[in-house]
Amino acid sequence: MGIKVTKMQGCGNDFVIMEYEEYLKGIDEKKWEDIPQAAKKLCDRNFGIGADGLIIPNKNVKDSDIGWFFYNSDGSTAQMCGNGMRCFAKYAFDKNLVNKKEFTVKTLAGNITPKVCDDGTVKVNMSKPILEPEKIPFIPNNNINYKISVKDRIFEGTAISMGNPHFIIFIKDDEDLLKLAKEYGPYIETAAEFPEKTNVEFVKIRSYQKTELRVWERGCGITLACGTGACASVVAGVLNGYIENSVDVHLLGGTVHVDWFGSKDNTNFNVFLTGPAEYVFEAELA
């Protein structure tokens, strides 16, 4: 009997979801050494299923309705993933791992609350943005409008954590966002200012209610979407006075909606992320 897995995607950000019992079966049959190694094998786009991350539901939690184990495609752990959370929420509800449409999920970033909506989208309460440099973590004291030097360029950006670190750079001219992300993302990800590395977002403002985003994701590289990155970019945009509080964020793989009603004077507001979560296929691995 094979190992049962489900592949899902949110705006092209794709994930393999495998329940823990199936993982244990994989240990017996495939001799995988550990979960990070399983993540590498399953997420490999040439020799595995192919995905940006591996999600394993954790049904043994006390202070939340359910939890998860989340691994990037390189086997590293991530505190949070907005697109992954939407897919996980839909999966958990559809598979009767939870018995309500709005519930709490225990993550390394704390308890997160998703809601499976009647229109098929999922709305996630992403909690409050983290702006204290030591908690991001980000070594410099100034996390807004900080200038970072990489290769032949100096970029000005904002450091924010949505449970995982982000550095958001607003591009005001006609430069290619994807090209910038590919060329400079790897260097900023591993810059000394970020002791736990960082996700890197390049953003163009299209209007007060619309932005365009390309992301170099920590532990994954270029991805079609990043939910926490979309949230962090909206917070940064509001703090810099570029956008309003309710914004459509256009990514390579689709569009998500972000609401944050905070301001420079009062950041004590939760961020809400709304977007699609869709099944790609269910399979049984030999």
Residues with catalytic annotation?
A: 81, 226
* Residue from 73, 72, 74, 58 nearest 107 by CA: 58
Decide: 125 and 111 in contact? Cβ < 8 Å.
Answer: no
Q: Tell me, rounded to whole angstroms, the distance of Cα 279 from its chain centroid.
A: 18
Full 3-state SS string of 108-175: CCEEEEEEECCCCCEEEECCCCECCHHHCCCCCCCCCCEEEEECCEEEEEEEEECCCEEEEEECCCCC
* Residue from 202, 192, 184 nearest 140 by CA: 192
Tokens 């950006």 locate to 157
